[in-house]
């Protein structure tokens, strides 16, 4: 779960300890948070998910102190964020929001360099870092560096938002529904790219979404929150899908939680049966999720498909039964432990 930390990148562990935020009732007040505790190891993505008004954004904003808790502690590498200078704290934490919030009057390059500039990096170092980050998020620095945000598409702007948050090599990234404002196709691409980026960067990330599918896809750990800002369940996605802690969680993750669990596994995770005659069975590359594999087999009206390796060489037979029992074996295993 914890990705190996790389040289040159930094990541902090995060702990919520009995964090409570009360609001006097009124229209438009953010969601309250009630006695929230969880721990995120350095280098993991922790997704806060729940219905609107459940306090997930409030929780996120208490980490960089845009909102101050009523009681409890938030610890970054064991240090209470309340004890730190708020400006210095925020400059060490990356922040990405749904509406991106790029500075319309600054070029893309200067937007990315905002925090390095605030903390006093030399122009040369800012420039080098900006080019590196823009390339990293898939935007050619020579083409995009001197443009203004208004000249970019929504997806491009969101990439710049991610680059800006990463600029000063933060200890932690806070991402508040970062991909919610773009269309589903762009969203899926941004999610994939971000996960690929995260495999290299291994940052600690707190990610807020209201979309359980996004939570399952992005999270190493998921905090399911319920109305009133209470913790409903905390754990890895597979555990939450396999063993919802309450009827609320079961309902929130949905009736198709079995299928969602299949989407967490790929054909590569599955044992294959020897196959004498490949015939014209559907071909299943190793990266295919079991959910997709099942769908492919059902659509082709066959009980089995041909698992192949990266190079396309046949590995053996994958059957609908094998896919079904993959979950059953896990359930039995979980029940034993």
Partner 1 sequence: MSGEPLVRWDWLFAHLGPIADRVGQHIYLAGLAVGIGFAISFVLAAISIRRRRLFPAISVLATGVYTIPSFAVFPVLVVVTGLSTLSVEIPLVLYTLVLFVPNIVAGFDAVPADVLEAADGLGYTSSQRWWQVELPLAVPLVVAGLRLATVSTIGLVTVSAILGDSFGGLGYYILDGYHRTFTTEILVGGLLSIALAALADFGCVLLQRLLTPWAAARNVAR
Contacts with partner 1 by CB under 8 A lie at: 64, 66, 87-91, 93, 95, 97-107, 114-115, 118, 147-148, 150-153, 164-165, 174
- Using CA atoms, how far apart are residues 116 and 92, in angstroms rounded to an integer? 10
Supply the DSSP symbol for 151. Answer: G
Alpha helix locations (H) across 123-263?
A: 123-136, 141-144, 154-166, 184-201, 212-218, 237-242, 247-253, 257-262
Task: Write out the H or E segment, with its range, that includes residue 320.
Answer: helix 320-336
Instruction: Answer yes or no: are the C-beta atoms of 30 and 7 closer than 8 Å.
Output: no
Residue closer to partner 1, measured from CB, 108 or 290: 108
Q: CB of 154: closest distance to partner 1 in angstroms?
A: 12
Q: Which of 78, 95, 3, 99 is nearest to 43 (CA)?
A: 3
User: What 3-state class would DSSP assign to 135?
Assistant: helix
Q: Least distance (Å) from partner 1 to the CB of residue 122?
A: 19
Q: How far apart are CA 273 and CA 67, in angstroms?
A: 56
Q: Minimum CB separation from partner 1 for residue 151, in Å?
A: 6
Minimum Å gap between C-beta 29 and partner 1 is: 16
C-alpha distances in angstroms, 336 versus 233, 262, 280, 322?
A: 20, 21, 40, 21
Backbone phi, then psi, for 172, in 5-degree steps?
Answer: -155, 145
Min separation Cβ 41 and partner 1, Å: 24
By beta-carbon proximity to partner 1, the closer residue of 96 and 232 is: 96
Return the percent helix, strand and coil in the chain, to nearest 5.
Answer: 40, 20, 40
- Return the number of the residue (47 or 174) whose C-beta is nearest partner 1: 174
Cβ proximity to partner 1: between 182 and 281 the closer is: 182
The two structure tokens encoding residue 264: 């967490």
Least distance (Å) from partner 1 to the CB of residue 39?
23
Helix residue spans in 38-122 (DSSP H): 56-63, 86-91, 108-112, 114-118
The residue among 165 and 262 lying less far from partner 1, judged by its C-beta, is: 165
> In this complex, which beta carbon is closest to partner 1, that of residue 57 or of residue 226?
57
Neighbours of 127 (CB within 10 A): 16
Q: Which lies closer to partner 1 via its Cβ, residue 88 or residue 335?
A: 88
What is the smallest separation between the CB atom of 56 and partner 1, expressed in angstroms? 16
Name the residue nearer to partner 1 (CB basis): 165 or 294.
165
C-beta of 200: minimal distance to partner 1 in Å? 23
């Amino acid at each position: 779960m914890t990705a190996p930390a790389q040289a040159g990148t930094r990541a902090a562990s995060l702990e919520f300890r009995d964090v409570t935020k009360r609001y006097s009732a009124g229209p438009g007040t953010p969601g309250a948070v009630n006695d929230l505790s969880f721990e995120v190891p350095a280098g993991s993505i922790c997704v806060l998910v729940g219905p609107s008004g459940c306090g997930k954004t409030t929780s996120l904003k208490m980490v960089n102190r845009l909102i101050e808790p009523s009681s409890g502690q938030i610890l970054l590498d064991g240090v209470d964020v309340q004890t730190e200078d708020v400006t210095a704290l925020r400059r060490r934490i990356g922040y990405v929001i749904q509406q991106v919030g790029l500075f319309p009057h600054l070029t893309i390059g200067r937007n990315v360099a905002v925090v390095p500039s605030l903390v006093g990096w030399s122009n040369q170092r800012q420039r080098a870092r900006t080019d590196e980050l823009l390339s990293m998020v898939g935007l050619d620095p020579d083409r995009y560096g001197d443009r203004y945000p208004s000249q970019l598409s929504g997806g491009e702007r969101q990439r710049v938002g991610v680059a800006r948050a990463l600029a000063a090599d933060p200890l932690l990234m806070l991402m508040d529904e970062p991909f919610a404002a773009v269309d589903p196709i762009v969203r899926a691409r941004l999610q994939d790219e971000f996960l690929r980026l995260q495999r290299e960067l291994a940052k600690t990330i707190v990610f807020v979404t209201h979309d359980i599918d996004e939570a399952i896809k992005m999270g190493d750990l998921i905090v399911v929150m319920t109305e009133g800002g209470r913790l409903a369940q905390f754990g890895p996605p597979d555990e939450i899908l396999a063993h919802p802690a309450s009827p609320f969680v079961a309902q929130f993750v949905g009736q198709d939680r079995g299928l969602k669990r299949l989407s967490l596994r790929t054909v590569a995770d599955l044992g294959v049966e020897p196959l004498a005659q490949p015939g014209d069975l559907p071909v299943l590359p190793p990266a295919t999720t079991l959910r997709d594999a099942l769908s492919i087999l059902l659509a082709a009206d066959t009980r089995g498909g041909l698992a192949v390796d990266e190079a396309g060489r046949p590995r053996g037979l994958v059957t609908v039964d094998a896919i079904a029992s993959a979950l059953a074996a896990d359930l039995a295993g979980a029940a034993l432990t």
